[in-house]
Amino acid sequence: MSIAALPATAIPVTPAPPVTGPPAAPDAPSAELDFDACYRALAARDARFDGRFYTGVLTTGIYCRPICPARTPARRNVRFFRHPAAAEAAGFRPCKRCRPELSPGDPGWDVRADLVGRALRLIDDGVVDDCGVAGLARRLHVTDRHLRRLFVAELGVGPRSVARTRRLLLAKRLLTETTLPIGDVAFAAGVGSLRQFNAAMREAYGFAPPAAERLADADLGGLGLTERRVRTLRALAERVARGEIDLDGAQDPAEVIARLLAVPGIGPWTAGYIAMRALRDPDAWPDGDLGLRRAMRRLGIGDDEIGRWRPWRAYAAQYLWSAS
């Protein structure tokens, strides 16, 4: 499903009664998310709502907790979800600032005696990882189909997606907070093999876990790079590992380029090239590229033309490269 095609809330919403004043923190979770109440809680960074809903931001493709320190997005650019799995199923990725994997979860679910509450606790205990959704349904004395229907009505996704997101978020947390070897993290997160684990992380979050974190700590002396380049590479890896630079295309390209340019040793050419290749920014322009200069000179195109190709300068660059 494309993010832009989503309705305002990803699960059915009943018309909300008029609300005055700040919303009260709900006592028990309910299937309906009231858009206005959620938006007010988001704008106020109201900690009482942490874990009760998640905000998908259409312009960045990222989902956040209500307490996220990032600037509050415009109303038209947000979608609300009851569960991180629903946000991920809709194509959003977890925010690196507020880190949904650290969310306290919905306290209402811990005490709920109904089927979805009990199922969520069993999923937390790893029942789906061990026995599959069929095993979970058996434990609850219901059919797979019935369980799935309840989950979709309440959370917007089925139990399998919830279990998968739980595993991935756990892995993400272990990777950031512990020095466990990747293999142990994969095991702890209930993913059979390292290869499967990397594939799952790449699919869900756009990166394979060993890359940036490990590169930042690795001995880069044997790569045949100059001392200066090693320093640049390490500085870049550290910033990517800390989440300051996002190379998976989820951050605004202009912001990524500005942050890349702040890394000592990265100039406009490198930043433009990364924006083109990694961020797939259609307007990226590797400034100062020799091949481009040569092709433009040969075709009699002046520098003042470059601005006219916005916002498609990356396509112009591709064309010029292929023409030279």
Interface residue list for Zn ion (CB under 5 A): 64, 68, 95, 97-98
Structure tokens at 293: 């200069």
Residue 99 CB, nearest approach to Zn ion (Å): 8
- The nearer residue to Zn ion, 97 or 310, going by C-beta atoms, is 97
- The nearer residue to Zn ion, 63 or 109, going by C-beta atoms, is 63
Structure tokens at 146: 């019935």
Residue 98 CB, nearest approach to Zn ion (Å): 3
CA separation for the pair 188, 198 (Å, rounded): 14
Strands 62-64 and 93-94, bridge-based pairing: parallel
Is the Cβ–Cβ distance between 3 and 56 less than 8 Å? yes
Residue 64 CB, nearest approach to Zn ion (Å): 3
- The nearer residue to Zn ion, 75 or 97, going by C-beta atoms, is 97
Residue 97 CB, nearest approach to Zn ion (Å): 5
CA separation for the pair 320, 176 (Å, rounded): 42
Residue 317 CB, nearest approach to Zn ion (Å): 33
- The nearer residue to Zn ion, 38 or 64, going by C-beta atoms, is 64
CA separation for the pair 168, 186 (Å, rounded): 9
Is the Cβ–Cβ distance between 15 and 36 less than 8 Å? no
- The nearer residue to Zn ion, 68 or 140, going by C-beta atoms, is 68
Residue 65 CB, nearest approach to Zn ion (Å): 6
Of 248, 250, 247, the C-alpha closest to 259 is 247
- The nearer residue to Zn ion, 74 or 199, going by C-beta atoms, is 74
Strand partners, 79: 56
Helix (H, G, I), strand (E, B) or coil at 9: strand
Listed in order, strand segments (DSSP E) in the chain are: 54-57, 62-64, 78-81, 93-94
Sign of CA dihedral 198, 201, 203, 208: negative
Query: Greatest CA span in the chain, whole angstroms?
Result: 75
Of 91, 94, 93, 64, the C-alpha closest to 5 is 91
Look-up of token digits 């997160």: 189
CA separation for the pair 262, 236 (Å, rounded): 10
Residue 111 CB, nearest approach to Zn ion (Å): 27
- The nearer residue to Zn ion, 98 or 136, going by C-beta atoms, is 98
Residue 57 CB, nearest approach to Zn ion (Å): 8
Is the Cβ–Cβ distance between 248 and 93 less than 8 Å? yes
- The nearer residue to Zn ion, 72 or 324, going by C-beta atoms, is 72
